[in-house]
Amino acid sequence: MFANLFKLFIDGGPVIMSCILICSIVAVVIIIEKFMYINKITKKEEKVIERLSSAINAARYDEALAICDNSPSPVTNMMKAGIKRKDYPEIYIKEAIRDAGSLEIPKLERFLTTLGTIANISTLLGLLGTVQGNMEAFGLIGSKSALGSMEMLAGGISKALLTTAFGLIVSIPTTIFYNYLTNKVNNMILKMETQANELVLVLLRKKSLKG
């Protein structure tokens, strides 16, 4: 099996096939990292948000800050920024939360652009290898070695198409994971914004009752 794969790799052209292979390895690493990161913070937030909400609703702000410090995540970091400015006017609370969110969103979106780029260039690399292979194959037509030998020409074209096939093998699943992860991150950002708005309302309500 490995011998056959190695033969296909060589037949497709070592340079282009190596580029596609590197793209596939980088894509796999990014996909695994993103799934581990998202799963980690999702599980952490599910356990922390209920405790944090309870502390905030009871006006136990020191306890809420301690929870945020002990369980850092995008949501808790945003809430921490808002809690620290609980006595400020509404506009400053919102600004603090928005600034904290602007620091967390890039962490959630990290490497997604790279993953999308890999999905695109894998296909293009495959097409480039095919074009290059076809040029070499059709170049045989003008040589004496290709006269009366369509098998040689067909074999050359067949090898040239290998790069397109391997490029698509990398590109298709990478595109699927890119779209899934992008949608997942967008939903997380929306959830963060919703929870941040709820925090602002709670803090304002507590401040009005205090006043």
Express each pLDDT in 16-54 by its tens digit.
888 999 999 999 999 999 999 998 888 777 778 888 888
Q: Among the ranges 7-11, 36-40, 44-48, 154-158, which has the highest mean pLDDT value? A: 36-40
Residue 16, burial from CB neighbour count under 10 angstroms (0-12, 13-18, 19+): buried
Distance CA 6, CA 101 (A): 47
Share of residues in the chain with pLDDT > 70 (%): 81
pLDDT at residue 28, as a whole number? 96
pLDDT at residue 148, as a whole number? 47
- At residue 171 the predicted structure's pLDDT band, cuts being 50, 70 and 90, is very high
DSSP structure class, residue 1: -
- Whether 96 has a pLDDT exceeding 70, the answer reads yes
Q: How many CB atoms lie within 10 A of CB 55?
A: 19
Q: Which residues contact 41 (CB under 8 A, 6 or more apart)?
A: 73, 74
Q: How many CB atoms lie within 10 A of CB 50?
A: 10
Residue 94, burial from CB neighbour count under 10 angstroms (0-12, 13-18, 19+): middle
- At residue 174 the predicted structure's pLDDT band, cuts being 50, 70 and 90, is very high
Distance CA 74, CA 100 (A): 8
